[in-house]
Structure 1
Amino acid sequence: MTPTPRLDAVGLVVSDMAATLAFYRRLGLAVPRDADSAPHAEAVLPGGLRVLWDTEETVRSYDPDRPRVTAGDRIALAFRCSGPQEVDAVYGELVAAGYRGHLEPWDAVWGQRYAVVLDPDGRGVELFADAA
């Protein structure tokens, strides 16, 4: 029988660990406070999937030729909200806290309330809920 790998973690490379972790804590991820100055941090999600964050310096320590990514949406994290009002509220709270909104909440044609805010490294973070 051939073993089948299972997805265990999603890793993100970050330019400012403390700023990034503050953003993701606002989205409910439990990240230890002492991780703000660490070269690596992680949070375990319900179900066991992990989100990993590594500083650019950490990644360069084992992959010195890796090109620096300045921004973009080659990967996006999508957070399910309890309903359309929570999409609007979370988006509003993040923007009021100084994070950049990318797409204000809207009713998507596929039947969900959707919004996109940018994390400190410019990655799109999607907020969504089933339409009422």
Structure 2
Amino acid sequence: MNATLNSIDIVVSDIQAAIAFYGRLGVEFTVDPTYPDHAGCDLPNGLHVMLDTEKFRGSTQTNGWSRPTGDPRNFLAFQFSAPAEVDAKYAELTGAGHTGVQEPWDAFWGMRYATVLDPDGNGIDLYASLPAE
């Protein structure tokens, strides 16, 4: 039996700050009217992404839940159509106060790449293919 990966759940401390951050990347979340600590977004590729507050996530676990420590363990990668768009989005996000951990650079695998952190310290990669030489 094979399982289908169709949802990603991101645990956040402040759901409104997370919604604002991901909105800058074109991901529009809707808060669940029944559970204000939960929001969802259906992406065009069929993937469903959820935001859950730490409080909500803890209430769904019989043994509780606690925030992991250390560096980001997961990274979400957002593709752009041109390298200049990576630079512009990185500048926009860091200019809005989000932490940049890797300034835009031309990676050896043929992409313009940069990394910022979302409000909860999750890694967010920004990338675009470099023009063929």
- Global fold match (TM > 0.5): yes
Q: How many residues align?
A: 129
The structure with the greater share of residues assigned to helix is: 1
Work out which of the residue numbers 4, 13, 23 in structure 1 matches 2:21: 23
Any gaps of 5 or more consecutive residues in structure 1? none
Note the 1:1-132 alignment, pairs <5 A.
3-32=1-30, 38-63=36-61, 64-70=63-69, 72-132=71-131
Change (3 A) 1:52 1:33: closer
Change (3 A) 1:68 1:33: closer
Q: Distance in 2 between matches of 1:34 and 1:44?
A: 13
- 4+ residue runs of structure 1 moved beyond 6 angstroms? none
Question: Over aligned residues, Cα RMSD in angstroms?
Answer: 1.8
The CA deviation string for residues 57-100 of structure 1, in whole angstroms up to 9 with x for no partner, is 01111224323224632111000011100000110111111111
Change (3 A) 1:41 1:70: farther
Q: Distance in 2 between matches of 1:47 and 1:54?
A: 21
Any gaps of 5 or more consecutive residues in structure 2? none
TM-score after normalising by structure 2: 0.89
Change (3 A) 1:61 1:34: closer
Amino acid at match of 2:36: A
Aligned 8 A contact 2:75 2:122 in 1: yes
